[in-house]
Amino acid sequence: MKFAIFGNNFQAHKLLSAEHLFYLLGKMNAEIYVCRCFYDFLKKEDNFRMPSDINVFDGNDFNADMVISIGGDGTFLYAASKVGDKNIPILGINTGRLGFLSDVYPEELEEAFDEISNQHYKVEERSVLQLITDEPKLQEEPFALNDIAVMKHDSSSMISIYTTVNGAYLHTYQADGLIVSTPTGSTAYSLSVGGPIMVPNAKTIALTPIAPHSLNVRPIVMCDDWEVSLRVESRSRNYLVAIDGRSISCEEGIQLTIRRAPYSIKVVKRCNHIFFNTLRQKLMWGADRRQ
């Protein structure tokens, strides 16, 4: 098999996990390709034993049977942005903290790669959002696996977000921002501001306001083949658009249209992985301290 590897460049104390990963791939006689920024990071570490037969690639100039992300969910999102519409499944190895997307732990690596060698794993399809606008800065990387958010630029007054769905007026949000989330992103930023959890294979998106100035404005879930359009007004004349956390400053007057992307991201999961177990273990879902 051929593997393309993306990694976190800020976790030198967890290099043993990367060494173990390369060892296991070597046992599989795999072809190993590493993104240049991660390769340069590893080369700088004196104690890291780099295999001699590694290939290096830049950006999205690669092809593989499987992509491996070693880090946290942020690293996984970065890998997904480079995979794009290549239709390559991504395995997330969690050396970060929570790890909803990167949910294979270092101590599970041997079992996980035995299963991969035997083709004993499952692949989940995850929907992606696409932002369409005339603003060139936003069209450089317009796709999001988690969410697309508009937010006020600074700590001053809230913004007004005129929102339509399939051309029909929905609401003008007076808030610090608005998050448009996929099911994958429903356990990320959206959840932290009171949004709903959606199971990963749901064909839905959620609109979740950030600190709305009204008691009767709540998150809303809708079909993911519907189109959401936003127009933002701000006293400071500018605001932020965040695409999977990549923030770009924008000025008033541009139209933002969000729709389902024409491709999906494939996520590798072990066969024993159950989403509800993840909720209980990582979010303490339903935990009752009285017991």
Going by DSSP bridges, is the β-strand pair 256-269/159-165 parallel, antiparallel, or unpaired?
A: unpaired
Residue 280's pLDDT is 87
pLDDT at 11 over 90: no
Over residues 13-39, mean pLDDT: 90
> pLDDT band for position 129 (50/70/90)?
very high
45 and 99, same domain (yes or no): yes
Mean pLDDT, the chain, integer: 92
Distance separating alpha carbons of residues 36 and 64, to the nearest angstrom: 16
Q: Looking at residue 13, what is its pLDDT?
A: 66
Report how far residue 142's alpha carbon sits from residue 132's, in angstroms, rounded to the nearest whole number.
7
Q: Quote the number of domains for the chain.
A: 2
Query: Is residue 144 classed exposed, middle or buried when 0-12, 13-18 and 19+ CB atoms within 10 A define those classes?
Result: buried
- Where residue 243 falls among pLDDT bands split at 50, 70, 90? very high
User: What is the pTM (predicted TM-score) of this model?
Assistant: 0.92
> Rounded to whole angstroms, how far apart are CA atoms 201 and 226?
17
In a domain, 289, yes or no: no
**Residue 97's domain is classified under what CATH number?**
3.40.50.10330
73: annotated active-site residue: yes
What does DSSP say about strands 31-35 and 55-57: parallel, antiparallel, or unpaired?
parallel
165-221 pLDDT per residue, tens: 999 999 999 999 999 999 999 999 999 999 999 999 999 999 999 999 988 999 999
Together in a domain, 72 and 178: no
Which among 53, 58, 65, 73 is annotated as catalytic? Answer: 73
Give the list of residues 6+ apart from residue 46 with CB closer than 8 angstroms, or none.
Answer: none
Q: Give dist(CA 127, CA 66) in Å, integer.
A: 18
Residue 68, domain extent: 2-121+270-283
Gap between the Cα atoms of 249 and 137, Å rounded: 9
Name the residue type at position 176: D
Q: Give the span between the Cα atoms of 60 and 56, in whole angstroms.
A: 11
**Shared-domain flag, residues 218 and 255:** yes
Same domain for 32 and 132, yes or no, is no
